[in-house]
Amino acid sequence: MSEAFDAVDVIRTKRDRGVLSPGQIDWVIDAYTRGAVAEEQMSALGMAILLNGMNREEIARWTAAMIASGERMDFSSLRPRDGGPANSTGAKPTTDKHSTGGVGDKITLPLAPLVAVYGVAVPQLSGRGLGHTGGTLDKLEAIPGWRAALSNEEMLAQLQDVGAVICAAGTGLAPADKKLYALRDVTGTVEAIPLIASSIMSKKIAEGTGSLVLDVKVGSGAFMKDEAQARELARTMVELGHDAGVNTVALLTDMSTPLGLTAGNAIEVEESVEVLAGGGPQDVVELTVRLAEEMLQAAGVTDADPAVALKDGRAMDVWRRMIAAQGGDPDAALPVAKESETVLAPADGVLVELDALKVGVAAWRLGAGRARKEDAVQAGAGVRMHAKPGAVVRAGEPLMTLLTDTSERFARAQEALEGAVTIAPEGARPARELIIDRIAL
């Protein structure tokens, strides 16, 4: 077939700091998806975008073109129940959360059922871990019987009945992104903010949610280490959401220290259940409640108090129904690692730093994460932390417990933790605020 544009001309436009036209963008995404633009040509264009950027209109059009490469989900058939909230068309409102990923980030697990308590549907399409950042689906698969793969019909039925679903995204959503993401990974263009933002938002917009709250993490354990870059990414994604008609806000949150006291799969599920039972680490509770407030407000529910629903058992009730609806047994014992090893505090003082990246790499090396998408993970592996920054510690006391089924992994995990802990004299500086800023239009 005759092509509307020439790939080399499109590359030259961006190479020379020009603005891509809507027609060029639509064509290059479609042509690349169907194989008419070669991998090396899209690699060159990706590098030109990394170096020269895109304006707001270009990024919005690029995102729309990626959405157009596949299907869009539709939740307009969901109906409010028992006088619950409704959107402007009379349907049950929908809201979602996306985190850019971190260490110990189990927030989705208690958050989805918590928001669903208030009659808002939460279609949470999640992914698997890669490298030092954990994956929500890997955590939930530690629950005996639980399954991640649902058809669109099953997802809709669960949203109507339970109100929340956490599952794998189908292959029909933004297939252009899947192909482009793999290319970025091997061509040094992962860091291009227009491409990061459009990758995330094309899937979230295609998912069909009415509102979206973004948790953009910054710090050693986050994808974005630099706060200025994290702000730019957050602002770009918020703009993309609004341009597509999705009510979108972002929180900039700290990922210099792991969230909670666990980094792994089964142990993070265990900690999430503690939060749903009204307990759990203060930072996990704080971020869960704050994100729930933002999601509910974005969905038009302004009179809710999520902190109360965590304490009184309503969120736990939804969690149990959500897990059971996907074949899981909420009462089943979680897998436990066969081997453990303790890391001791080297000195007396105040723990002022617990490096999230180093803890995440240690958990990964213990078997909680994967180096390649096809790798298996150990459900019981990970790092259990006994102190967080601000805590007073004594030499010889346990700081962390390392967990794995394969004891030969301990040595490399210990290597990863070298320099992870900083202990200073008592009265040292306090920990950084968990929630750094809120970004909205």
Does the residue 90 lie in any domain? no
Q: Are residues 318 and 402 in the same domain?
A: no
135 against 40, higher pLDDT: 40
Q: Residue 210 is part of a domain; what is its CATH number?
A: 3.40.1030.10
Q: Which of 96, 105, 138, 177 is catalytic?
A: 177
Find the helix or strand (DSSP H, E) in which 14 lies. Answer: helix 7-15
Does position 151 have pLDDT exceeding 80, yes or no? Answer: yes
Q: What would the pLDDT profile of 213-230 be if each residue is shown by its tens digit?
A: 999 999 999 989 999 999
Answer yes or no: are the C-beta atoms of 423 and 351 closer than 8 Å. Answer: yes
Q: Residue 412 is part of a domain; what is its CATH number?
A: 3.90.1170.30
Lowest mean pLDDT of 28-37, 76-85, 275-284, 291-300, name the range: 76-85
Q: Residue 40 is part of a domain; what is its CATH number?
A: 1.20.970.10
200 against 83, higher pLDDT: 200
Number of domains into which the chain is organized = 3
Q: Are residues 235 and 209 in the same domain?
A: yes
Q: Which of 199, 202, 220, 272 is catalytic?
A: 199
Q: What would the pLDDT profile of 291-335 be if each residue is shown by its tens digit?
A: 999 999 999 999 999 999 999 999 999 999 999 999 999 999 999
Q: Are residues 287 and 175 in the same domain?
A: yes
DSSP line for 196-257:
HHHHHHHHHHHHT-SEEEEEEEESTTSSB-SHHHHHHHHHHHHHHHHHTT-EEEEEEEE-SS
Q: Are residues 47 and 113 in the same domain?
A: no
Instruction: Choose the final residue of a domain: 325, 353, 386.
Output: 325
Q: Are residues 104 and 207 in the same domain?
A: yes
Does position 429 have pLDDT exceeding 70, yes or no? Answer: no
Asked about 98 being catalytic, the answer comes back as yes
Averaged pLDDT for residues 85-114: 94
Q: What would the pLDDT profile of 166-193 be if each residue is shown by its tens digit?
A: 999 888 889 999 899 889 888 989 889 9
Residue 119 buriedness (CB in 10 A; 0-12 / 13-18 / 19+): buried
Distance from C-alpha of 22 to C-alpha of 20, rounded to nearest angstrom? 7
Does the residue 400 lie in any domain? yes
% of residues, the chain, pLDDT over 70: 98
Does position 370 have pLDDT exceeding 90, yes or no? Answer: no
The residue type of 215 is: D
Tokens of 126: 């999640």
Does the residue 119 lie in any domain? yes
Find the helix or strand (DSSP H, E) in which 160 lies. Answer: helix 152-161
Helices (H), ranges, 312-383:
314-325, 356-363
Q: Which of 97, 98, 179, 204 is catalytic?
A: 98
Residue 430: predicted pLDDT: 64
- The sheet with strand 95-99 has its strands ordered as 95-99, 211-218, 247-254, 435-439
The residue type of 207 is: E
Distance from C-alpha of 423 to C-alpha of 295, rounded to nearest angstrom? 37
Q: Which of 139, 179, 184, 231 is catalytic?
A: 184
Q: Are residues 314 and 394 in the same domain?
A: no
Distance from C-alpha of 129 to C-alpha of 256, rounded to nearest angstrom? 18
Helices (H), ranges, 244-370:
266-276, 282-298, 306-311, 314-325, 356-363
The residue type of 375 is: D
Which domain covers residue 20, as residue numbers?
7-53
Does the residue 433 lie in any domain? no
83 against 327, higher pLDDT: 327
Averaged pLDDT for residues 241-260: 96
Round the average pLDDT of the chain to a whole number and report it: 94
Asked about 177 being catalytic, the answer comes back as yes
Distance from C-alpha of 30 to C-alpha of 70, rounded to nearest angstrom? 10
∠ CA 149-66-74, rounded to 5°: 50
Q: Are residues 148 and 258 in the same domain?
A: yes
Torsion of the alpha carbons at 148, 149, 150 and 151, rounded to the nearest 10: 160
Does the residue 388 lie in any domain? yes
Does the residue 11 lie in any domain? yes
Residue 1: predicted pLDDT: 64
Residue 417: predicted pLDDT: 98
Does the residue 310 lie in any domain? yes
Residue 135 buriedness (CB in 10 A; 0-12 / 13-18 / 19+): buried
Confidence of residue 130 (pLDDT cuts 50, 70, 90): low
Q: What would the pLDDT profile of 393-420 be if each residue is shown by its tens digit?
A: 999 999 999 999 999 999 999 999 999 9
Asked about 14 being catalytic, the answer comes back as no
Q: Are residues 99 and 245 in the same domain?
A: yes
Q: Which residues fall within 8 angstroms of residue 122, CB to CB, at 6 or more apart? A: 94, 95, 96, 97, 111, 112, 113, 115, 116, 159, 163, 164, 165, 295
88 against 379, higher pLDDT: 379
